[in-house]
Amino acid sequence: MGLLVDGIWKNEWYDTGKDGKFKRSESQFRDWITKDGKPAEGRERGFKAEPGRYHLFVSYACPWAHRTLIFRKLKKLEDVISVDVVHHFMGKNGWTFVKEDGATGDTLYGSEFLHQIYTKADPSYSGRVTVPVLWDKKEQTIVSNESAEIIRMLNSAFDEWGDASLDLSPLSLRGQIDAVNERVYPAINNGVYRAGFATTQEAYEEAFDDLFDGLDEMEERLGRQRYLVGDRMTEADWRLFTTLVRFDAVYFGHFKCNLRQIDDYPNLSNYLRDLYQIPGVAETVDILHIKAHYYASHETVNPTRIVPKGPELDFLAPHDRNRFRKAA
Ligand SMILES: N[C@@H](CCC(=O)N[C@@H](CS)C(=O)NCC(=O)O)C(=O)O
């Protein structure tokens, strides 16, 4: 775990400050790939959607990177955007390209560490070195390291080559999608991290309460409709999914989010299985990487680095979500 300061790697854990609260830093590469290559509003650099030009660096462990893998899969962009997978262990060098357990290495440049990709894009970069990274092979630079924006690019910019019939973020539903995301992100997606990385009792309990309030609210919502935004699957579902699928295996124990498991919520657990069973999705979920990463990499949280053997997970068990209407 560490970060770059003026392009130099420093080995440092997150600084939670006096209040013990974990604060996620803002992603710094924020350009957009567009159909015509014109810079997005307010941006200077433009990137044109082209098959074979872009590449994703991801971790199977990371819920934010996982969003991009799901979109690449569902939008049928596997032949359009290539991918490399980092090793699950994130130690003093940050994410590495060690080839093991399905990690691919850096197939573009043969680098050892992900921070070398960041300094290739910007030799004086200062900040955290995170996945996912959306890389432009032509300009040899990072387009974006913000998953929320990368998935919106994947959703529409590559429709000439991908599945244009699937729109996970339709403009007509954008307001509702954004409203759900604004609830799910702080309380749930980032809420588990706020609980797990808190360094005071108070900060932990605040995050814990927010998290379970958020989960209760989503449980209730999913008792009325098949998906978070009515009868149509959207981006909001996939953003919740990547946290739910890790919850019982990791967040419940490792991050001390142990009021209830997802398995204890009838609607959330059936919904999780419904999403998991959508063709292609299971291939994006790697429980070995997920467990090995969290338990072994966060030394301050789990100094022995022992990875628990359980729990038993069966995302392929039948679900009851067909009781709700589904948009055609
Ligand atoms: N805002 C980013 C967050 C990505 C992020 O925090 N990724 C984590 C892995 S789950 C990471 O790479 N952390 C390394 C670090 O913070 O040093 C996004 O959504 O793309």
Active-site residues: which are they? 62, 193
* CATH class label, 3-156: alpha beta
Which of the four pLDDT bands, split at 50, 70 and 90, describes residue 15?
Answer: confident
Q: Is pLDDT above 90 for 237?
A: yes
Does the beta carbon of 131 lie inside 6 Å of ligand 1?
yes
Mean pLDDT is lowest, of 11-15, 135-139, 192-196, 225-229, for: 11-15
DSSP letter assigned to residue 55: E
**ipTM of the shown complex:** 0.99
- Do the domains at 3-156 and 171-278+314-323 have one common CATH topology? no
Q: What is the DSSP string of 248-291?
A: IIIITTTT---S--GGG-HHHHHHHHHHHTSTTTGGG--HHHHH
Nearest by Cα to 163 from 172, 171, 154, 176: 154
The domain over range 171-278+314-323 is classified in CATH as 1.10.569.10 = no
pLDDT digits (tens, 9 = 90+) for 79-132: 999 999 999 999 999 999 999 999 999 999 999 999 999 999 999 999 999 999
Domain residue ranges of the chain, discontinuous segments joined by +:
3-156, 171-278+314-323
Q: What are phi and psi of 175, to 5 degrees?
A: -60, -45
- pLDDT for the residue 34: 97
β-strand 127-128 against 3-5: which pairing, if any?
A: antiparallel
Which residue's CA is minimally distant from atom 8 of ligand 1?
A: 130
- pLDDT for the residue 231: 96
Does the beta carbon of 22 lie inside 6 Å of ligand 1?
no
pLDDT digits (tens, 9 = 90+) for 275-291: 999 999 999 999 999 99
Which residue's CA is minimally distant from atom 6 of ligand 1?
A: 130
Q: 98: exposed, middle or buried (C-beta count within 10 Å: 0-12, 13-18, 19+)? A: middle
**Does the pTM exceed 0.90?**
yes
pLDDT digits (tens, 9 = 90+) for 251-271: 999 999 999 999 999 999 999
Look-up of token digits 């934010």: 64
Distance 59 CA to ligand 1 centre (A): 10
Which of 29, 92, 128, 239 has most ligand 1 atoms within 8 Å of its beta carbon, as the pocket-test mutant?
A: 128
